[in-house]
């Protein structure tokens, strides 16, 4: 497979990580790093790098050696940068969220599909080995029917000046949920409650509830104010339940063959058949062996493979669109005091909330 010439746009928080992992990916060839601050870009590359530095995005788009761009800039700039790249015939990897509004995201997804170009979202957590294993277990039916998804992402974090805690931290959990749900299962409503106990003008802790079309529930707790760091996800199925503790690298994942089984009593009359017998199942607890590899390396490998194979990436533009829809619905719910906001197929697009006090995140890792 010939390598794809790549330009990284943005040398700030996330750009250096993109450069480092792209340089270690056989299917990619880093041609240039573009940033308005030329000195910062040169500092990222070091004195002996052959990668070109430029402050001109237009120059990057005119470069025939560049077939793809990876955009690591604030979310407010994503729409114009991604659109210009697609119109120039470049494949695009873009930080989350894909844009600041659903309407803009739809335009980009449709443009990429009309042009036959790869548009991929950098949902980094989806490329962690543990998340890939969880997806395989769920899609393979090992857990049975999904009954609940419960995620906690809290720490004593930096209170962001331009975004509330939902847009800062919840995109990670929402992208994971979107990635691991089996085909045909999707959220149908979102409700959110938040609080600002320290008077920052935006929610510093929040609770997010998503109803799924199967009747199951997903719950996400995000918080900037916790003195301890917790990164735990519990996914319950009709057959097994798994617990993912991302702060425990020695054993991130445990799978429990424990649960509650319901069975009808054949001796009951027809009028009493709604009554069930409850039995408790207790079995083994298994900790699968997982490789420890950098998730962003997987992102870059998938980007290169999707381009080479002319197929949608695992976290393509439409997955970014679905996550953005959930974030916008959560913000509308927050504004209304927690009312459930319908989402999913067949639900008309509502107004953007990018101009509200919530605001879009800029791809920060939580």
Mean pLDDT by 10 residues, the chain (366 residues): 90 94 95 95 87 95 97 94 98 94 95 98 96 96 96 91 89 97 96 96 96 97 96 96 93 86 61 60 82 93 97 96 96 95 76 45 44
**So what's the pLDDT on residue 265?**
59
- Residue 121 belongs to domain with CATH number: 3.40.50.720
The tokens describing 96, both together, are: 């989350």
284 and 252 part of one domain: yes
Q: Residue 75 and residue 104: Cα distance in Å, rounded?
A: 12
68 and 141 part of one domain: no
267 and 287 part of one domain: yes
**So what's the pLDDT on residue 53?**
94
**So what's the pLDDT on residue 127?**
97
Q: Tell me which residue range forms the domain holding 146.
A: 127-293+323-342
What's the domain count of the chain?
2
**So what's the pLDDT on residue 357?**
44
* Beta-carbon contacts of residue 301 (< 8 Å; ≥ 6 apart): 25, 27
The tokens describing 21, both together, are: 């992992």
- Residue 227 belongs to domain with CATH number: 3.30.360.10
In this structure, is residue 116 part of a structural domain? Answer: yes
121 and 41 part of one domain: yes
The rounded Cα 9 to chain-centroid distance in angstroms is 20
In this structure, is residue 364 part of a structural domain? Answer: no
**So what's the pLDDT on residue 48?**
72
76 and 166 part of one domain: no
**So what's the pLDDT on residue 345?**
76
**So what's the pLDDT on residue 188?**
97
238 and 192 part of one domain: yes
Q: How far is CA 157 from CA 75, 80, 222, 223, in A?
A: 20, 30, 11, 8
């Amino acid at each position: 497979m010939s390598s794809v010439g790549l330009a990284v746009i943005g040398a700030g928080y996330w750009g250096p990580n993109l450069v480092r992992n792209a340089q270690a990916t056989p299917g990619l060839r880093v041609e240039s790093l573009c940033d308005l601050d030329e000195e910062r870009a040169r500092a990222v590359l070091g004195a002996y790098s052959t990668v070109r530095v430029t402050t001109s995005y237009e120059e990057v788009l005119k470069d025939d050696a560049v077939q793809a761009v990876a955009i690591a800039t604030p979310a407010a700039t994503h729409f114009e940068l991604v659109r210009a790249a697609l119109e120039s015939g470049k494949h695009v990897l873009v930080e989350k969220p894909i844009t600041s509004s659903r309407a803009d995201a739809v335009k980009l997804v449709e443009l990429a599909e009309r042009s036959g170009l790869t548009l991929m979202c950098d949902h980094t957590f989806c490329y962690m080995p543990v998340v890939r294993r969880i997806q395989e277990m769920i899609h393979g039916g090992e857990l049975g029917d999904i009954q609940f998804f419960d995620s906690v992402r809290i720490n004593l974090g930096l209170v962001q000046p331009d975004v509330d805690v939902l847009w800062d931290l919840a995109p990670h959990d929402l992208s994971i949920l979107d990635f691991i749900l089996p085909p045909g299962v999707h959220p149908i409503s979102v409700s959110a409650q938040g609080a600002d106990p320290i008077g920052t003008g935006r929610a510093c802790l929040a609770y997010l509830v998503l109803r799924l079309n199967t009747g199951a529930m997903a719950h996400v707790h995000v918080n900037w104010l916790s003195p301890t760091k917790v990164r735990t996800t519990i996914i319950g199925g009709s057959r097994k339940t798994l617990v993912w503790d991302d702060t425990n690298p020695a054993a991130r994942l445990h799978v429990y063959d424990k649960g509650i089984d319901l069975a009808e009593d054949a001796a009951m009359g027809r009028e009493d058949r709604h009554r069930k017998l409850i039995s408790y199942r207790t079995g083994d607890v298994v900790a699968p062996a997982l490789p420890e590899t950098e998730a962003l390396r997987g992102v870059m490998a998938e980007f290169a493979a999707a381009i080479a194979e002319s197929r949608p990436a695992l976290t393509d533009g439409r997955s970014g669109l679905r996550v953005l829809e959930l974030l916008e619905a959560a913000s509308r719910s927050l504004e209304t005091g927690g009312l459930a906001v319908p989402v999913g197929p067949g639900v008309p697009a509502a107004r953007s909330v990018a101009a509200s006090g919530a605001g879009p995140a800029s791809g920060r890792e939580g």
